[in-house]
Chains A and B, each alone.
Chain A
């Protein structure tokens, strides 16, 4: 296990390093000279030179790369050209809103996916099954930004059941102290049921929009793995000992079917990182995604670059966490690949992830 941990952590570090190299190459290709963009066309050569040295744009490519990495690791993420504020500060201010939204969407969609997958598979009922898989396909085909607009039209514009795109709270609420930055937590801490209600009402549509695709995706993965082991002897054994079909499924089949879903949840995070950008843009959510879309619109690429590097880092780390979790659940996963291709060729090693993890392996 320790060998596996070391191996996976090493691989994760290597891929973050490789990603940073790739990001550096890509981001240096961005058209336009940033010094010119910020200082305008009337800047003197001295001004340009001093701007370049301040922002790490002078020196050889290697030096620049080293500075890029060192600054990123140290949290010196440069200055937003549009607002003049340090990017780190901007992201810090907006991170809680995104984390809140993503967490709620994640928990809700995982919970619902498990429930619907169990209900649709524990008995052989073709119609329930068909509806569940239709939902899965529709969910995966629905662009989140469009679903958000549709929800806004139905629940806000037409019926006024839920608040519109005005961020996390109604603008007419009396202010309350900010302690954690997480609006729902702050409202609860301040003992303000009205604020808490408003915060929750504002969360419903964005979280649903963000979570629907994930829910559909996890439902599909979980369904196919539950169906695969539905007829395994240990499930029947649990049933014949007197458990109901449902309890046998929940207590014995579900834990054994959870592994592919866990592996898939690493990919789900990728969806979430992208999805949060799209959904926040629709709901005017004061999170990082909105910052990124504004950054694109204002050609303020520093913000976008930091977001790209950050999401790669988070993505790699979460996938590392998922691998470690999978290995703790199922120790067979923790086999360190040998360096010889021959073992792979003989099928001793697991094949790599396909584009679509719902595909049975």
Chain B
């Protein structure tokens, strides 16, 4: 049976699912970034007279409880959430990779210290660790992002470290060492290029975790505060209104979240297939 090649797109053919996902993400980014030009309603200006209007031509996504235009807020929320997730995944990925590389190259003492700290962080379920950090630093969008970043670092650090240990023991590093190449050069030329794909894969899969975790923290009141247009916080604002039949306030931000997380998860899967061919590709994913 030809199961082994399922999921990996045949050479030279378009991968429809991937194209759709990239199109969704790119379209959303484009729309969100250019929004202030073509949709000039304010994201924060209130208008009590226009509160809780159902979607119409004037307000395509309706208005919320204090009369803010939902389309403007969903687009603003896209900017906030995407930027937050981008920061979290890049900073978290690079920091985790740096710590992982350091731990993998350090002697037993350094390795032990870093790994024990990671173990302590891994003892908490990820979002709950982010909750603890956010509480400690004070509630807000930035601290929520710091919390999510910190909670992701040990996962990435451990994966990168095990890669470094593998590369460190391999023949080409030994050969370079035997040839008298200085240690820093071995690290830069022979270790880092080998772990870079792993780091990229991890950053890609971190993105969807980041966006949903920041929204979850916002939803329970630890993340972005009112009136910042952030998707999780907006869903909270709409949660009581849903029971009154005013579905639009929390539905649209949720659709945004769903689209972004699903699209980035699938893209991350494909990035893994392309960059990490040593591991068997996950088969039959869409």
Q: Evaluate contact between B235 and A315: CB separation under 8 angstroms.
A: no
Choice from B206, B235, B265 contacting A140 with Cβ under 8 Å: B265
Q: Evaluate contact between B124 and A311: CB separation under 8 angstroms.
A: yes
Q: Evaluate contact between A342 and B169: CB separation under 8 angstroms.
A: yes
Interface membership of chain B positions 118-143, coded 1 if the CB is closer than 8 angstroms to chain A and 0 otherwise: 01111111111001110111110000
Chain B, range 216-262, C-beta contacts under 8 Å to A: 216, 219-222, 232, 235-236, 238-239, 242-245, 247, 250-251, 253-254, 257-262
A278 to chain B, nearest CB (A): 6
**Band of interface residues on B:** 35 or more
The answer to whether A150 and B251 touch (CB under 8 A), given A345-B168, A353-B158, is: yes
The answer to whether A346 and B169 touch (CB under 8 A), given A30-B135, A278-B219, is: yes
Task: Check: A145 CB closer than 8 A to any chain B CB.
Answer: yes
Q: Evaluate contact between B219 and A141: CB separation under 8 angstroms.
A: no
A264 to chain B, nearest CB (A): 14
Residue of A nearest to B131 (CB): A308
Q: Which A residues are CB-close (under 8 A) to B215?
A: 143
Choice from A271, A273, A297 contacting B221 with Cβ under 8 Å: A297
Q: Which A residues are CB-close (under 8 A) to B266?
A: 137
Q: Which A residues are CB-close (under 8 A) to B251?
A: 149-150, 153
Choice from B136, B232, B245 contacting A30 with Cβ under 8 Å: B136
| Stretch in B35-43, B69-77, B180-188, B276-284 touching the partner | B276-284
Question: How many residues on A have C-beta within 8 angstroms of the other chain's C-beta atoms?
Answer: 81
Q: Which B residues are CB-close (under 8 A) to A95?
A: none
Residue of B nearest to A355 (CB): B155
The answer to whether A315 and B124 touch (CB under 8 A), given A18-B116, A354-B159, is: yes
Q: Evaluate contact between A316 and B123: CB separation under 8 angstroms.
A: yes
Residue of B nearest to A142 (CB): B258
Residue of B nearest to A17 (CB): B120
Q: Evaluate contact between A27 and B286: CB separation under 8 angstroms.
A: no
The answer to whether A29 and B137 touch (CB under 8 A), given A347-B166, A360-B279, is: yes
Chain A, range 129-179, C-beta contacts under 8 Å to B: 129-130, 133-134, 137-138, 140-143, 145-147, 149-150, 152-153, 156-158, 164-165
11 new A-B contacts, CB < 8 A, other than A26-B133, A278-B220, are: A14-B116, A30-B136, A124-B3, A137-B285, A142-B258, A149-B235, A150-B254, A153-B242, A231-B3, A359-B282, A360-B282
